[in-house]
Amino acid sequence: MRHLLNPLDFSTEEISHLLDLANDIEHNLPKYAHVCDGKKLATLFYEPSTRTRLSFEAAMLNLGGSVLGFASADSSSAAKGESVADTIRIISCYADICAMRHPKEGAPLVASQFSSIPVINAGDGGHQHPTQTLTDLLTIRSLKGRLDNLTIGLCGDLKFGRTVHSLINALVRYTGIRFVLISPQELKVPDYIRTDVLDKNHIEYKEVDNLDAAMPELDILYMTRVQKERFFNEEDYIRLKDSYILDKQKMKLAKEDMYILHPLPRVNEISVEVDKDPRAAYFRQAQYGVYVRMALIMTLLEVEKPC
Ligand code: CP
């Protein structure tokens, strides 16, 4: 039995197969309508979510399976003090696979140690968000035709943004990847990402605070929101929340074939006037999230690809 807790749980070859499967699902959706008949997905969300929870549920429904779960800690027995370990023992009796989002880093890892069904990390605190990374990889590969030889700009809250941490972890395994890390001083990537991931893998990167200056060299611009829920005081959040606002003027500085990604939700960091730009790929990205989660559920449940 396999879990997905960290993007590195899958080799690049396995990720390539998974993205190929997601690509086939995108183009042949009806073919997959019954491959998970009789299977159940539990969504255990201790933190708010729109995309991740609902795209997981849509994914399982598209595969012919069923879904159950809770959308907040308050509506589960966590509110009465039940541990993650006990909860997953119970869920293992009710479902075949589960996706868990939790504010505590490592909670899905703990769950996997007590689970008899595959556990998918759907975001743990400011740590990792591997299924967002699979979504991002599918989006980049679909739009650019490759996952290597790209200059990727990551902009915004690089300190608390778990999607950024997971994406960096995943992309350093491909050749010719350069990062431009664009953030205010207080929201730079954590030291462990710089030393244990970027430096250790001899990745070319620079840390800057000026988005305009970075725009012309980027193949992908990955915007992120400032993560209000991870701040210790509101004053800091208010001071930093509008550090970057991508608008039409800034888009004039970008390459014609540069794409903008964003894990969403967006707050102010991308002006709505940018949505009409053909390079704005963040809503397509959310759609890719359904296909890649379908592929992931099939892979972890060891469901055969239909002919
Ligand atoms: N991208 C993402 O994780 O969105 P949600 O918080 O809405 O799930």
pTM of the full structure: 0.96
Residue having the nearest C-alpha atom to atom 3 of ligand 1: 52
Q: Determine the topology of domain 7-128+289-300 in CATH.
A: Rossmann fold (3.40.50)
- Collect all residues with Cβ–Cβ distance below 8 Å to 249 and sequence separation of at least 6: none
CB 72 within 8 A of CB 48: yes
d(C-alpha 3, C-alpha 17), whole Å: 17
**Residue 202 C-alpha to ligand 1 middle, in angstroms?**
31
CB 58 within 8 A of CB 41: no
- For the stretch 210-264, pLDDT in tens is 999 999 999 999 999 998 888 878 888 888 888 999 999 999 999 999 999 999 9
Q: Which atom of ligand 1 is nearest to the CA of 48?
A: 6
Residue having the nearest C-alpha atom to atom 5 of ligand 1: 49
Q: Where are the alpha helices (DSSP H) in the chain?
A: 12-27, 51-62, 84-94, 107-114, 130-144, 162-171, 191-192, 211-214, 234-240, 248-251, 282-300
CB 195 within 8 A of CB 212: no
Average pLDDT over residues 269-291: 98
**For the chain, where do the domains classified as CATH 3.40.50.1370 start and end?**
7-128+289-300, 130-286
Average pLDDT over residues 95-118: 98
d(C-alpha 19, C-alpha 148), whole Å: 15
- For the stretch 51-100, pLDDT in tens is 999 999 999 999 999 999 999 999 999 999 999 999 999 999 999 999 99
Q: What is the CATH number of domain 130-286?
A: 3.40.50.1370
Q: What percent of the chain has pLDDT over 90?
A: 93
For a ligand 1 pocket test, name from 49, 131, 138 the mutation site with the most ligand atoms within 8 angstroms of its C-beta: 49
**DSSP letter (8 states) at residue 242:** T
Q: What percent of the chain has pLDDT over 70?
A: 100
**Residue 307 C-alpha to ligand 1 middle, in angstroms?**
33
Q: Which atom of ligand 1 is nearest to the CA of 55?
A: 8
Q: Which atom of ligand 1 is nearest to the CA of 50?
A: 7
Region of 43 on the Ramachandran plot (φ > 0 left; ψ -120 to 50 alpha; else beta) = beta
Which residues are marked as active site?
51-52, 80, 101, 129
**Side chain identity at residue 155, one-letter code:** C
Checking if the pLDDT of 46 tops 90, the result is yes
Nearest to 135 by CA among 39, 257, 252, 26: 26
